[in-house]
């Protein structure tokens, strides 16, 4: 059969499609137009997605991008995860026996058990209803994000990343977090750039606007995750040894400059998390046994001396970051941070008393709209505490409480099972890594451990933080094609290196 000429294809297919898109774009914010345009783009991008769905998921996992054309505006990684899971299933179904499925049983079973615990809890506490779907219960979004994090692990880890792309994928996984600053940039540039809020969540811009109107501290909140992303990219690319190498001083200079900008976010967690990452990475690379220990101590002393001298003259947002240290700071920054800390401590005191109530069967994520309404109105008219709304919404600002209150002891056991299995896999890939992937495997292990410490001790929310935990270990499994084992030592090498006893004396072979 003779192939149709391109002109016929354009006339029959492309022109009508362009006309339909043009009509829809006349009302681009209409929900039906968004869904129609999204479906059309999906069909056009289908060949690309078939080849690059894993890469899209890895890049979007840490990105702050919305799928604005869908109800509820879910984050892009949730959509990319669903698409990737679909394509993985299709790939292995159509190529059964030809492609090896990468599986780490300990992690797989832990996530399956975790899913069953969360699903059973959802069914026994009002379901996983979401307002966006017209449900009378709220909170289903939290379930979808948590289950989406489980799916992301299987979507990324099931297929090995090509050797030539392993380092670049690991770098992009962290670097994509710089998109957190786009909403602040759009707010700063003015109304002509507000269209960017369709793609990039506006929460940080809203916090920036509220801070400028109601407090004396102007905070550019999106700079904190953006600075952390650049720091992680530099670490996975060069390692701490490479950053401290004065031959390439620009690496440390760029990293320090980015972290300084990050302090304008006013988030106290940024210097704390960076310090945890630095210490864990320092020991993981074995730098505590080298001259770099003296260099690091000298740098910490110099930086600490400068900060202690100039602390009260720094911008208020930067001073707020340093309220975790015993420094002389402006009273406005200290009181702003103190109010936030007291609010958290009061909420934790109340929630700890609720642990026995939810020990065997958790509360779940379901939210009764009436409870949320009464908490909001009570705060408005002075009849309720400022913590009531956060407690009803499940926003506990504490990692362990965000597990045991919603899912009880079974959720805690599920989380511990997953983290122990993940740490074991990351540790083996780190210890048995070849030189080509040493920096990547080291930092993936360091980042997971640091994130776990931060989640458990400083700040965490299970439904938000589970994604980074599952995606990090999935990236390690995919890069290493599973879990590495110690390389086998040949018997000949053992024989040649083993001392032999000759004539009652110990002699080399």
Residue with token string 């058990």: 113
Q: What DSSP string runs through 123-166?
A: HHTT-S--GGGT-SSB-HHHHHHHHHHHHHHHHHHTSPPPGGGH
Q: What tokens appear for 131 in the block?
A: 């307002």
Point out the least confidently predicted range of 179-193, 221-235, 478-492. 478-492
Confidence at residue 9, expressed as pLDDT on a 0 to 100 scale = 52
Phi, psi dihedrals of residue 371, rounded to the nearest 5° = -65, -40
What is the arithmetic mean of pLDDT over 23-32? 62
pLDDT digits (tens, 9 = 90+) for 98-121: 667 889 999 999 999 999 999 999
pLDDT digits (tens, 9 = 90+) for 414-424: 999 999 999 99
Confidence at residue 150, expressed as pLDDT on a 0 to 100 scale = 96
Confidence at residue 392, expressed as pLDDT on a 0 to 100 scale = 74
CA–CA gap between residue 450 and residue 444 (Å, rounded): 10
Residues linked to residue 66 through DSSP beta bridges, in sequence order: 75
pLDDT digits (tens, 9 = 90+) for 246-268: 888 899 899 999 999 999 998 99
10 Å Cβ neighbour count for 344? 16
Alpha-carbon Rg for the chain, nearest whole angstrom, is 26
The region that residue 266 occupies, defined by phi over 0 for left and psi between -120 and 50 for alpha, beta otherwise, is left
Angle at CA of residue 115, ends 111 and 118, nearest 5°? 135
Report CA-CA distances (Å) from 135 to 78, 131, 147, 245, 368: 20, 5, 19, 57, 11
DSSP 12: I
Inter-residue contact 203 to 183 (CB < 8 Å):
yes
pLDDT digits (tens, 9 = 90+) for 346-393: 888 988 988 999 999 988 887 766 666 666 666 566 655 667 777 777
Whether the per-residue pLDDT at 238 is higher than 70: the answer is yes
Point out the least confidently predicted range of 25-39, 45-59, 66-80, 485-499. 485-499
Q: What tokens appear for 161 in the block?
A: 């990343």
What is the arithmetic mean of pLDDT over 219-225? 91
Helices first, then strands: H and E counts in the chain:
21, 2
Give Cβ neighbours of residue 320 (< 8 Å, ≥ 6 apart).
217, 219, 266, 268, 333, 336, 337
Q: What tokens appear for 403 in the block?
A: 């597990």
More confident residue, 131 or 165: 165
Q: What b/e readout covers 255-275, taking b as 16+ CB neighbours within 10 angstroms?
A: beebbebbbbbbbbebbbbbe
10 Å Cβ neighbour count for 27? 11
Residues linked to residue 367 through DSSP beta bridges, in sequence order: 138
């Amino acid at each position: 059969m003779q192939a149709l000429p391109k002109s016929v294809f354009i006339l029959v297919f492309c022109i009508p499609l362009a006309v339909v898109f043009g009509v829809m774009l006349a009302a681009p914010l209409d929900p039906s137009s968004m869904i129609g345009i999204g479906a059309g783009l999906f069909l056009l991008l289908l060949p690309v997605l078939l080849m690059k769905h894993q890469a899209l998921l890895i890049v979007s996992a840490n990105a702050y991008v919305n799928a604005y054309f869908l109800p509820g505006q879910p984050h892009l990684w949730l959509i990319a995860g669903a698409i990737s899971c679909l394509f993985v299933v299709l790939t292995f179904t159509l190529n059964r026996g030809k492609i090896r499925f990468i599986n780490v049983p300990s992690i797989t079973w832990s996530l399956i058990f975790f899913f069953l615990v969360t699903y059973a809890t959802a069914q026994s506490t009002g379901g996983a209803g979401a307002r966006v779907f017209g449900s009378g219960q709220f909170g289903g979004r939290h379930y979808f994000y948590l289950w989406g994090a489980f799916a992301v692990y299987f979507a990324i880890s099931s297929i090995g990343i090509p050797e030539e792309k392993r380092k670049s994928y690991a770098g992009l996984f962290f670097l994509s977090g710089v998109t957190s600053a786009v909403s602040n940039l759009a707010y700063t540039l003015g109304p002509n750039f507000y269209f960017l809020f369709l793609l990039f969540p506006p929460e940080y811009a809203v916090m920036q606007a509220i801070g400028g109107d109601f407090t004396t501290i102007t905070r550019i909140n999106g700079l904190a995750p953006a600075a952390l992303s650049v720091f992680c990219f530099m670490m996975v690319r060069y390692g701490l040894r490479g950053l401290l190498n004065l031959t390439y001083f620009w690496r440390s200079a760029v990293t320090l400059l980015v972290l300084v900008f990050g302090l304008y976010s006013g988030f106290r967690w940024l210097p704390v998390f960076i310090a945890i990452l630095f210490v864990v990475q320092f020991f993981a690379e074995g730098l505590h046994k080298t001259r770099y220990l003296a260099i690091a101590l000298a740098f910490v002393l110099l930086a600490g001396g400068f900060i202690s001298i100039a602390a009260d003259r720094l911008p208020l947002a930067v001073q707020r970051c340093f309220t975790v240290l015993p420094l002389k700071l402006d009273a406005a920054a200290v009181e702003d941070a103190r109010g936030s800390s007291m609010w958290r401590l009061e909420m934790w005191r109340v929630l700890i008393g609720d642990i026995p109530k939810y020990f065997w069967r958790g509360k779940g994520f379901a939210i009764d709209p009436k409870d949320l309404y009464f908490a909001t109105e009570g705060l408005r008219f002075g009849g309720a505490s400022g913590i009531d709304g956060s407690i009803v919404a499940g926003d506990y600002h504490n990692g362990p409480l965000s597990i045991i209150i919603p899912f009880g002891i079974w959720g805690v056991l599920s989380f511990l099972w997953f983290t122990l299995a993940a740490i074991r896999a990351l540790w083996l890939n780190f210890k048995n890594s070849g030189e080509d992937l040493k920096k990547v495997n080291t930092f993936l292990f360091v980042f997971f451990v640091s994130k776990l410490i931060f989640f458990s001790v400083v700040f965490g929310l299970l439904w938000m933080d589970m994604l980074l935990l599952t995606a990090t270990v999935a990236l390690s499994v995919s890069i290493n094609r599973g879990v590495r084992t110690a390389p086998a030592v040949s018997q000949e090498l053992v024989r040649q290196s083993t001392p032999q006893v000759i004539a009652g004396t110990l002699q080399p072979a």
